[in-house]
Chain A
């Protein structure tokens, strides 16, 4: 068998080159996908029921799914925030009602001497550094710390969220069934290649999604409310100490009473000589000391109690606003994460090179 004749030199180069150029031209054209060639109908399955809908309805169905998901999430989050507002209102209304009790203790002798002795006991390790703040918190929030109350609030709101999500899922599936029934063009025989929306419907509730449960659970907001007591105490004591001449006057008067009142009291109430004279002088002197302090406290209370109570009320309002903002943000972040997880489209925005750059 003879060999084919040689092509001219130009053609020997031109033919491969032309072929390669044609190849590159065909390569950049987009490929044909199978959906471009399918029929006019699509089978959709939800649970045990199958529907056949026109193919051009699919974009509308996708938008409807996304809009319904978005509305459902917003509704559930709003309900949770409303419940949160109600629980915080109940908690802080009680605290506001107990502010006069706190003021009574603050302007009492017991309160005065507790505040004087506490720094010494803290320095010696007998009491915790935040003893006064914790005591203030317990007095305002009914012998429990605010963080303990907030634990109950979170559990209540979480339970409401779970119930709401379950109801939403049931309502969504019913609505989807009704919508597909309305769109259905003809009865559909069971098809292996049907578009199955059942897993999406099951995931919408979040009830079976442990990831979501962890996100809305208490573990993600540990330490919430722990700073409330110190904040309230600082606001109250700062206001009370703002009128510095009152404290100075009390200190001066206390010093003066050591020298004068004790002696005067002793001279007035006790015999000048005899075995009981020392004890009597001590008792009488102490009484004079306490009396002076009590009188000065009454003057201080008369002049500054209103400011003290106003400062505590303001601190409670600020604490409530801060807690509400933190908890609301927490539930909204959980909802946003859930939207990402259940969204119908995953955005193609992850560029490995940028990820590498950020790691360096």
Chain B
């Protein structure tokens, strides 16, 4: 449409506040009271949940266009409503907890920088995918196809970078301690002003302690190198779910931007 700015830059500008929110959460999150934590959690849940809901509706629309007659009542019943929204928000609530705890437990500033680097990468990949797929994919499904390609590619690249970083970073040596001590050691290192947040961080810490202990005691018994690499990848990719939550948060923010732009463009 004439007069519109190019979308990738718009998307990036729209994502910058989200990036600042992530950095501020990482810097000051442990000082927030319970109320602040709940507000952040709700905001993340809405971003992730609505983004997933809107993408689900795009997929549903494409499916309905292909398989259901437009005059059929099924087209209205299956297009996605309150139930779909509730299901997506429920899943988003869990992902938001992971995002919150994971952001506060990032092991180094380098990991936070990698998370931020995903912003321009996601924008670029989505824009490129839309241009590449436009001649080949139906207009109804094109946005979702571009989202899937961009999200998956960014997820793989970001997880690979985080795995490479974790592989060479010194971790706790649990060779001579029990499983219980390993879990308590990691859990006890977490603290926060908010009790809710402290408990969530302690639980995440204990899980990480268990993963490290299992890796250091069980993995050396594996004889096949491939299994050994796979085992370590599973242990070190604790942030895979965090990355997934973060990317969905970004996707949600970008989809909100699309809604906002559509409202301003179509309004008189």
Contacts and interface: CB of A to CB of B under 8 A. Distances in A.
A96 B177 CA distance: 44
B6 A348 contact: no
22 contacts: A3-B3, A3-B264, A6-B5, A19-B13, A20-B19, A23-B23, A26-B24, A27-B112, A28-B112, A31-B30, A32-B30, A34-B191, A37-B31, A211-B178, A337-B176, A349-B173, A351-B168, A351-B170, A352-B167, A352-B215, A352-B236, A353-B168
A308 B228 CA distance: 59
Nearest to B185: A346
Nearest to A29: B27
A211 to B, nearest CB: 7
Contacts, number: 128
A45 to B, nearest CB: 14
B191 A33 contact: yes
**Which of A35, A351, A359: most chain B Cβ within 10 A?**
A359
Contacts of B178: 211, 341
A189 interface: no
Contact of B23 (A3, A27, A360): A27
Contact of B19 (A23, A34, A337): A23
A325 interface: no
Contacts of A6: 3, 5
Given A27-B113, A34-B30, 13 more contacts: A1-B264, A3-B264, A19-B19, A24-B113, A27-B112, A27-B116, A37-B31, A337-B176, A341-B178, A350-B173, A351-B169, A353-B167, A353-B168
Interface in A324-360: 337, 340-341, 346-353, 355-356, 359-360
A20 B174 contact: no
Given A3-B3, A34-B31, A16 B174 contact: no
Size bracket, chain B contacts: 35 or more
Contacts of A349: 170, 173
Contacts of B268: 1
B66 interface: no
Interface string A183-220: 00000000000000000000000000001000000000
B199 to A, nearest CB: 12
B171 A350 contact: yes
Interface in B81-125: 104, 109, 112-113, 116, 119-120
A25 to B, nearest CB: 9
A207 to B, nearest CB: 16
A60 interface: no
B175 interface: yes
Nearest to A28: B109
**Which of A26, A28, A30, A349: most chain B Cβ within 10 A?**
A26
Contacts of A353: 167-168
Contacts of B241: none
B225 interface: yes
B152 interface: no
Contacts of A113: none
B214 interface: no
A349 B216 CA distance: 12
Q: Interface residues of A: mostly helix, strand, loop or mixed?
A: helix
Nearest to B28: A32
B153 interface: no
B170 A359 contact: no
A249 B6 CA distance: 113
B132 interface: no
Interface in B156-195: 166-178, 181, 185, 191-193
Nearest to B111: A27
Closest 5 CB pairs of A and B: A340-B176, A350-B173, A28-B109, A19-B16, A27-B112
B16 A27 contact: no
B109 A20 contact: no
A44 B219 CA distance: 38
Contacts of A346: 172-174, 177, 185
A306 interface: no
Given A3-B265, A34-B31, A359 B5 contact: no
B5 A31 contact: no
Given A27-B116, A355-B220, A348 B19 contact: no
A12 interface: yes
A26 B172 contact: no
Contacts of B112: 27-28
A55 B142 CA distance: 60
B232 interface: yes
A12 B9 contact: yes
A34 B173 CA distance: 26
A35 B113 contact: no
A29 B26 CA distance: 10
B31 A350 contact: no
Contacts of A355: 216, 219-220, 232
A321 interface: no
